């Protein structure tokens, strides 16, 4: 039987990227004289990648943003974010131990994020996490991104896995919707950037800490 594939979201699930996302976003919008955003705004801003985050920051500040202005701002964001990487971003407590024990138990691991692939891959590498994953797929790796189920199923296939034997782990609505739309069971974590109470997301399971993410827990989900 194909090894089960456990797919992780990146921002707010594997890694607490909030400080660096906020810093790079504020550097970006300062070019348009917009007041800085705070950590509390992030749950509204994050989720659909950097381009959407910039557009949402302009909306938050009630500032107009022409289509032609987006690309230079995106370039500014990428340059700042890449230059500081990994900055203050760190894996959540217990993550590395969880990845080690899942790998040792024969699970295949992958990342499915709406972050651009060109930002997600180096971040995972610089944090020393790359060797755990059979695939890291960004929001622009395929033609579709979360909540489209195709992003998740294509990630699993890229990792050499089978979407019928997989679990998605995420922090927000796009992750849980993508999983549901793909018919894949999901786990939600409470430490990320959800803009709605996570109990309302409809995930199959909820964990409070990566210590709970054991082979037995996931095998039980896959049997359900
Ligand atoms: O960077 C984003 O907007 C979303 O990233 P995520 O899919 O890893 O949460
Ligand atoms: Mg996330």
Closest among 175, 167, 170, 143 to 216, alpha carbons compared = 167
Instruction: Give percent above pLDDT 90 in the chain.
Output: 99
Q: Which two tokens stand for residue 184?
A: 């894949």
Give me the pLDDT at residue 2, please: 81
pLDDT at 1 over 70: no
pLDDT at 172 over 80: yes
| Side-chain half-sphere exposure of 77, counting CA atoms within 13 A | 26
Say yes or no: 204 and 165 in one domain: yes
C-alpha 170/C-alpha 127 separation (Å) is 19
Give me the pLDDT at residue 224, please: 81
The total number of structural domains in the chain stands at 2
- Each residue of 179-219: pLDDT tens digit? 999 999 999 999 999 999 999 999 999 999 999 999 999 99
Point out the ligand 1 atom lying closest to the alpha carbon of residue 174. 7
Give me the pLDDT at residue 166, please: 98
Asked if 161 contacts 170 with a C-beta cutoff of 8 angstroms, the reply is no
Number of CB atoms found within 10 A of residue 103's CB: 16
Distance 107 CA to ligand 2 centre (A): 21
Distance 167 CA to ligand 2 centre (A): 15
- Each residue of 135-157: pLDDT tens digit? 999 999 999 999 999 999 999 99
Pocket of ligand 1 (CB under 6 A): 9-12, 46-49, 53, 113-115
Ion ligand 2: protein residues whose beta carbon lies under 5 Å: 9, 11-12, 171
Say yes or no: 143 and 115 in one domain: yes
Say yes or no: 25 and 76 in one domain: yes
Closest among 78, 9, 69, 20 to 50, alpha carbons compared = 78
- Each residue of 4-36: pLDDT tens digit? 999 999 999 999 999 999 999 999 999 999 999
Say yes or no: 126 and 43 in one domain: no
Coil, strand or helix at 107? coil
Coil, strand or helix at 203? coil
**Last residue of some domain: 50, 69, 84?**
84
Q: Residues with catalytic annotation?
A: 9
Domain of residue 35 covers 18-84
C-alpha 215/C-alpha 105 separation (Å) is 7
Say yes or no: 202 and 156 in one domain: yes
Asked if 191 contacts 213 with a C-beta cutoff of 8 angstroms, the reply is no
Q: 140 among the known binding-site residues?
A: no
Q: Which one has a higher pLDDT value, 224 or 190?
A: 190
In this predicted complex, what is the ipTM?
0.96
């Amino acid at each position: 039987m194909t090894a089960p594939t456990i797919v992780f979201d990146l921002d707010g699930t594997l890694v607490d990227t909030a400080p660096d996302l906020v810093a790079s976003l504020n550097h970006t919008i300062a070019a348009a004289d917009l007041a800085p955003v705070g950590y509390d705004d992030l749950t509204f801003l994050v989720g659909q990648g950097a381009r959407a985050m910039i557009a949402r920051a302009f909306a938050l500040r009630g500032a107009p943003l022409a289509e032609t202005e987006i690309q230079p701002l995106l370039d500014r964001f990428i340059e700042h974010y890449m230059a500081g990487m990994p900055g203050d971003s760190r894996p959540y407590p217990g993550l590395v131990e969880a990845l080690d024990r899942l790998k040792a138990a024969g699970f295949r691991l992958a990342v499915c994020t709406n972050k651009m692939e060109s930002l997600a891959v180096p971040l995972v590498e610089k944090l020393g996490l790359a060797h755990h994953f059979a695939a890291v797929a960004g929001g622009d790796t395929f033609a579709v991104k979360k909540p489209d189920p195709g992003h998740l199923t294509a990630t699993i296939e890229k990792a050499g896995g089978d979407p019928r034997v997989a679990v998605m782990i995420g922090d927000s609505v796009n992750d849980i919707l993508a999983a549901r739309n793909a018919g894949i069971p999901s786990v939600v974590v409470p430490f990320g950037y959800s803009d709605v109470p996570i109990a309302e997301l409809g995930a199959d399971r909820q964990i409070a800490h990566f210590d709970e993410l054991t082979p037995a827990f996931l095998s039980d989900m896959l049997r359900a």
